[in-house]
Amino acid sequence: MMVEKVPDSTYDNVGGLQKQIQEIKEVIELPIKHPELFETLGISQPKGVLLHGPPGTGKTLLARAVAHHTDCHFIRVSGSELVQKFIGEGSRMVRELFILARTHAPSIIFMDEIDSIGSSRIDNNASGDSEVQRTMLELLNQLDGFEPTQNIKVIMATNRIDILDPALLRPGRIDRKIEFPAPSAEARLDILKIHSRRMNLTRSINLQKVSEALHGASGAEIKVYVFTTGRLY
């Protein structure tokens, strides 16, 4: 579990995800900055959002960016951290997570790999899975127990939306979803430009051709490629 005062990532660091940026602004940034709009319309603020898609497609980066633009503390925890061997440990950690969020409000809780505890494929008869189930139930209780007007938002991320327990995504919990696909050719070019903008590139380097050669690469892989290549020159 890690608490970051205000992340330094911005939307300018996020390449090829214009649609996703707009969506997270509507679900997270707008309610935090302008709660009066929801009061005027008489509608409830969303409590959070689920980011889903393949690894390395920018889910964590965008979560950090929206925390930056809303001046929120960023509390990051991996679902695998909440999978504990001892009875009650996972549930206790979930309770402490939300206490921490209230203490540091305005805050964003970012729960990565939420499928580690939020999977529908759990055998309740197995002791380990029973503990995971208890942790999941505590998470649902916490989601039901806080008001979105408390300046706390929850962002969850997963590579496996297909195995998530539907109870997690019910209305009033995390019922908003944003998909992060593998980057298109245009998105790859955008990512290349972002990560190479501080480099002294020669005129012979054609980023368009480089983006085409990186077909199938994730945003994270493109970033590694740029910095690895940059060190060679």
Q: Residue 140: helix, strand or coil by DSSP?
A: helix
β-pairing, 2-4 vs 73-78, is antiparallel
CATH annotation of 2-179: 3.40.50.300
Mean pLDDT of the 188-206 span: 84
Task: Determine the Cα–Cα distance for residues 73 and 95; give it in Å rounded to an integer.
Answer: 18
In this predicted model, which residue has the larger pLDDT, 210 or 148? 210
Q: Is the pLDDT of residue 22 over 90?
A: yes
Q: Tell me if 187 sits within 8 A of 17, measured CB to CB.
A: yes
Q: Is the pLDDT of residue 196 over 90?
A: no
Q: If you classify domain 185-232 with CATH, what class do you get?
A: mainly alpha
- Tokens 């991996």 correspond to 78
Q: What pLDDT score does 91 carry?
A: 92
Q: What pLDDT score does 105 carry?
A: 95
Q: Is the pLDDT of residue 80 over 60?
A: yes
Task: Determine the Cα–Cα distance for residues 74 and 94; give it in Å rounded to an integer.
Answer: 16
Q: Is the pLDDT of residue 85 over 70?
A: no
- Cα 194 from chain centroid (whole Å): 20
Structure tokens at 44: 């409830």
Q: What pLDDT score does 3 carry?
A: 93
Query: What are the residue ranges spanned by the domains of the chain?
Result: 2-179, 185-232
Question: In 3D, which of 130, 132, 125 has the Cα closest to residue 84?
Answer: 132
Q: Is the pLDDT of residue 30 over 60?
A: yes
Question: In 3D, which of 68, 76, 58, 3 has the Cα closest to residue 29?
Answer: 68
Mean pLDDT of the 224-233 span: 71
Structure tokens at 163: 């195995």
Q: What pLDDT score does 233 carry?
A: 45
Phi-psi region of 216 (alpha: psi -120 to 50; beta: other; left: phi over 0): left
The pLDDT tens digits for 91-132 are 999 999 999 999 999 999 999 999 999 886 555 555 557 888
Q: For the chain, what percent of residues have pLDDT higher than 90?
A: 73
3-state secondary structure 98-133: HHHHHHCCCEEEEEECCHHHHECCCCCCCHHHHHHH
Task: Determine the Cα–Cα distance for residues 88 and 129; give it in Å rounded to an integer.
Answer: 13
DSSP state of 164: B
Q: Average pLDDT of the chain?
A: 90
